[in-house]
Structure 1
Amino acid sequence: MHILKQIIEKNHSLIHQVVDFNPEHDRLLGLDFTATNTELTAEILGDIDRFSAWIDEKLNAHQARYGIGGYNEHRTIYSRSVHFDTEEEPRRLHLGVDIWAAAGTPVYNFYDASVHSFANNNKFGDYGATIILAYDIAGYKFHALYGHLNLASLSHLEEGMHIKAGTKFAELGKEDENGCWPPHLHFQLIKDMQGLKGDYPGVCKFSERKKYLTNCPDPEFILSATFS
């Protein structure tokens, strides 16, 4: 996937922001959801209102419009949902980047794309409203998953529909439509969809880390156009 990074760097002027961010007056706060963050107690994680309030308090305390983090992060927060647990090994390794912001925050397409698929993955702890876009940049084909959106984002879509670069195509969802999470965008690159539609694992078992990280590279080189 280093080839894609090289292609993006060559075409960097054509890459658009994923969310509105002005470095002259907006601040970005890194958030940690590993076991080292002892502030996130079981009581907070077990109550979606308290969990959302914790995120808001962190952003407000640092006067940050957005929080960010999570790629290749081994997280304890997924213990709140059986969606990530299996009998032999729980899924805890995060495969995308999370951008934490207010519900209703606009989401933009970073490059010309077509709609691969979309779905409402509405299990507790899942993505909620999800859109997957297909990209072809200088002959290199891949996908991007946008999770935890509002349901209205799905209402106008059709598979194969063209979405122009820079177009607002979605908004962040509230807790009752985004899989029961504090509002945020899960942004994940996927080389091979492996036959899936409207969904792809955003968290994997640690024992399968290499396989999934190879298929889902760090999207930092795309998000740098948003936050630099």
Structure 2
Amino acid sequence: MNATEKLAAYIKVHPGAIGKVVDFDAHTDRLYPLDLTAANTQLTEALVADTEAFSQWITKTLADNNCRYGVGGYMEHRTIYTRSTLFDTDDEPRRLHLGIDIWGDAGTPVYAPLVGTVHSFADNDNFGDYGPTIILQHDLDGLVLYSLYGHLSRKDLNGLQVGQSIGINQQIAGLGNAAENGHWPPHLHFQLMLDIGDANGDYPGVGRYSQMEQYLQNIPDPELILQFADARNN
């Protein structure tokens, strides 16, 4: 089984063990599927390079479509990473997005969807990086799962301790603004991993497209937790 199949098998047996990541009512809230690939011709290089203009574009897109959040990105081959040299490598640039992004207002509460502990945290303060980041560790009847929350507010790291217990639906953070979240429009990068090796407060959220099959063995689809599909404004 790949990573998604392993997590799906646990959820099938324990559906009540899954909580929320953001406040969301499937009956009333609409979600906008943001396409950040080359197919979206609105995303010019100049627009994406200008954080304020990029933020305004997302805010207007959500408002025009009466959507609470913009969502998407799992295993999406994106062009927007040209905005930062962080994603450049000598052989193949990193362009494959490994988690799901939830775009919304700065300060939007972020919750832990599973019982767990604080594995690690850090402020990855580089242009285009995660900014403040929290990684939680979960034990799902022997299946170890890690959840990563990137682009948070700096104050969310205050008082955290490695090993600290976290309850289901406990608020752990809020979306950071562009001045503190790695210089992105406010959003949450939510990612799941079965193995993170010796990672500490950071784990790649963007990888090489040629390695997609390897990532699929370790990185489950976050939609299993979010359960957003029925509310997307298609």
**TM-score, with normalisation over the residues of structure 2?**
0.94
Say which SS state the counterpart of residue 98 (structure 1) adopts: strand
Say which SS state the counterpart of residue 16 (structure 1) adopts: coil
Q: What is the match of residue 57 of structure 1?
A: 60
How do 1:7-26 and structure 2 match up within 5 A?
Answer: 7-26=10-29
| Per-residue CA distance 1:139-178 (angstroms, 9 max, x = gap) | 2111011000000110020000001111111000000111
CA distance in 2, matches of 1:11, 1:123: 39
Deviation at 1:226, TM superposition (A): 9.6
Q: What is the match of residue 166 of structure 2?
A: 163
* Count of residues in Structure 1 that have an aligned counterpart in Structure 2: 228
Q: What is the match of residue 126 of structure 2?
A: 123
CA contact (8 A) 2:77 2:95 kept: yes
Identity of matched residues, %: 51
CA distance in 1, matches of 2:229, 2:179: 27
Q: What is the match of residue 84 of structure 2?
A: 81
Structure 1 stretches of 4+ with a deviation exceeding 6 A read: 225-228
Superposition RMSD on alpha carbons, in Å? Answer: 1.3
CA distance in 1, matches of 2:108, 2:56: 17
| Per-residue CA distance 1:2-37 (angstroms, 9 max, x = gap) | 122111122112211110011232111100000000
Gap regions ≥5 residues in structure 2: none
CA contact (8 A) 2:26 2:228 kept: no
Matched, 1:199 2:196: no
Q: What is the match of residue 105 of structure 2?
A: 102
**TM-score, with normalisation over the residues of structure 1?**
0.97
Matched, 1:213 2:216: yes
CA distance in 2, matches of 1:107, 1:209: 28
CA distance in 2, matches of 1:211, 1:3: 15
Deviation at 1:103, TM superposition (A): 0.4
Matched, 1:184 2:187: yes
Say which SS state the counterpart of residue 149 (structure 1) adopts: coil
Amino acid at match of 2:91: E
Say which SS state the counterpart of residue 57 (structure 1) adopts: helix
